[in-house]
Amino acid sequence: MRAAPTILHLDMDAFYASVEQASKPSLRGKAVIVGGLGPRGVVATASYEARRFGVHSAMPMGQARRLCPNGAYLIPRFSLYRQVSDVVMALLRELSPLVEPLSLDEAFVDLEAGGVAFDSGSARETGERLRADIRAATGLSGSVGLAGSKMLAKVASEEAKPAGLLLIEPGTERELLAPMSVRTLPGVGPATGEHLRRAGITTVGELAEAGEDELVRMVGRSAGAGLYRMALGLDDRPVVAERDAKSVSVEDTFDVDLHDRVRIRGEVQRLADRCVRRLRDSGHSGRTIVLKVRRYDFSTLTRSETLRGPTDDPAVVREAAARLLEGVDTTGGVRLLGVGVSGLADYTQEDLFAQSLAAEPDGADGTGGADVADRTGRTDRTDGAGGGAVAAGAAEAEAEGAHGAAEPPGEPEPAPERRWSAGSDVRHAVYGPGWVQGSGVGRVTVRFEQPGSEPGRVRTFRVDDPELEPSDPLPLVGDGPEGGPEGRP
């Protein structure tokens, strides 16, 4: 515990939804819900306007639509969120070498280590300056908490939301915490909170009064001792510079259970390719390939295979994932698939056997699969109920179909209908940049606007209009609106 509030916690306000509102002027001040739009999708982030209707993160999207039927429901645009996050994190690193990111929109900063704050006055000044710099660089707001410990700084930023700053003076911790709900404390979820409520403990003050021995009796030694320390406002954890990633992974939840084994294999191959792209983008390679399968009855299986050395070769990852799938029974249907790579390193150990075999067909005698498994360096295969650390990336799933077996020559098949997801970026040859409001029955509706412009016009096109193309997101803060032939769209 520090004698000065020099640990800062930044939490961007409704980050994904705020980015969408900033980039889509017609949505400013409106209810915006970001997440998976399919029947099994979940809410990733809801704007404060949507939260007034009871919508919150991790809620099933169907329930959110019932609560807020007139909200704007959009797919996540993670590439843009990462760009904005990079800008914010760069501002934090200007303050201190000790920055501990927790997610794209949240981080701790040790202000004392950066020499920018040593007391309450300088800490508050630094926090206010940071909020102003973030607003100028991104157009977004963030909430700042300042305290003598990480736990209290995080509590302070939560209390400061939205777009505020709260400084907790050392020595006032217990007085501030006492009336707060036990759910305020990190790690106290619904189950623990309910357990404490049944015991008559609903506030942090009551938690402290219960005493360590009673809490240990109720929830166990480790959890009880930790709860008691937090109730007293005690936390001596240091700010740790950002940790290395432990795994890179992707997963997709399907609107309808998959039963076709060929389709399932194709989806696994596609996920493997996406996973490798992320792996390479992060500058890593990995030794352990992980397959995650959630079946029709919600039972979740993971399978893993460890290679002799780290790789970022898509062929090697695809082969390993395919081998792992062979050991999973998918007869009843599959609702989710994921592929991950763990055991990360910043180098690759080229496996010449694996690379050469990537282009070879399996042996006609049926032993080719086992031969490949041996020569690619597989050393073990393990099962587990929760292994793999597969990240929740279903909301950014690409609309790609699985490739089946080659068809004999014949009449060319018509090009597949282009899919336009609500919220995705587009550009029209005449009207310029815009975003998809919705699509169906062969039509797509686009609103032509961009960050910094006035709310734009809405136009409808055929889904196969040759003048309409997908586009990269525009930066939130730039040189000004980009007008089309009609001026500002």
Q: How many whole angstroms separate alpha carbon 163 and alpha carbon 157?
A: 9
Give me the phi and psi of 450, to 5 degrees please.
-155, 165
What is the DSSP secondary-structure string of 292-340? Answer: EEEETTS-EEEEEEEEEEEE--HHHHHHHHHHHHHTS--TT-EEEEEEE
Number of C-beta neighbours around residue 54 at 10 A: 13
Annotation marks residue 319 as catalytic: no
Q: Encoding tokens for residue 28?
A: 């400013």
Q: How far apart are the first and last CA of the chain?
A: 55
Maximum CA pair distance of the chain? 80
Q: How many whole angstroms separate alpha carbon 47 and alpha carbon 14?
A: 6
Give me the phi and psi of 342, to 5 degrees please.
-125, -175
Number of residues that this document lists for the chain:
489
Beta bridge partners of 181: 203
Catalytic residue among 49, 106, 173, 267: 106
Q: How many whole angstroms separate alpha carbon 421 and alpha carbon 443?
A: 12
Q: How many whole angstroms separate alpha carbon 147 and alpha carbon 153?
A: 5
Give the E-state strand segments of 105-238 in sequence order.
Answer: 106-110, 142-147, 165-167
What sign does the CA torsion over 471, 135, 159, 144 have?
A: positive
The amino acid at residue 14 is A
Number of C-beta neighbours around residue 383 at 10 A: 11
Give catalytic residue positions.
106
